[in-house]
Copies of this chain bind each other. A is one copy, B any other.
């Protein structure tokens, strides 16, 4: 399967790219608004994997070029860039599945808080911006980018997958479970995305207030 990571030069994009490159045989393409930045990051990821004795080819291209090639397109961009990013690749998505991992947060003196968009969730923002017929799936909202990118770190995390298209959701769950230590759980339809996204500020607050805990994820049990 070919996976495009839009905003693949950012921290969560880096983590997903490195993990999929390490643990699976999927073809990865890094997208960015700036093709040169994308190519630089792709070369960095190849080098990181080569250091671990794993030879992979990762291309870096513009977001629309990346989207045009892929079966699954992950919009690994901040929530405030999500609508623009999805609209910029709308004509290139073809039959691809669009995956949204973004969370909107605001910070005050007490901690981080979930900043819920009027449409219900950031994942539903992505769905609203996507072309009709493109299946949209929410996933990877609660992964700590720092640990995800550190290939020496083992994961023992769950990711909750939400969406209204069962086949698309099953594909994304399989992709997620290709990453060692990651278990994909079904969170139900897109309308349940807010509760998933709201877990991310909690993870940050807990990490800030407890010595020895950082880069947190969760396991449901």
Contact = CB atoms under 8 A, between A and B. Distances in A.
A219 B219 CA distance: 5
Given A196-B202, A205-B195, A110 B188 contact: yes
Nearest to A161: B209
Contact of A205 (B113, B187, B202): B187
B220 A216 contact: yes
A213 B185 contact: yes
Contact of A188 (B111, B157, B186, B203): B111
Copies of this chain, count: 2
Contacts of A216: 220-221
A160 interface: yes
User: In which size bucket is the chain A interface?
Assistant: 35 or more
A218 interface: yes
Contacts of A112: 195
B110 A189 contact: yes
Nearest to A183: B210
Contacts of A196: 202
SS class of chain A's interface: helix, strand, loop or mixed? mixed
A123 to B, nearest CB: 13
A192 interface: yes
Contacts of A208: 188
A79 interface: no
Contacts of A186: 206, 209-210
Contact of A195 (B113, B156, B191, B221): B113
A206 B160 contact: yes
30 contacts: A110-B188, A110-B189, A110-B192, A111-B187, A111-B189, A111-B192, A113-B192, A113-B194, A113-B195, A114-B195, A114-B198, A156-B221, A186-B206, A186-B209, A187-B202, A187-B205, A187-B209, A188-B209, A192-B202, A192-B205, A195-B198, A195-B202, A195-B205, A198-B198, A213-B220, A216-B220, A216-B221, A218-B220, A219-B219, A219-B221
Given A185-B206, A185-B209, 4 more contacts: A114-B198, A185-B210, A187-B205, A195-B205
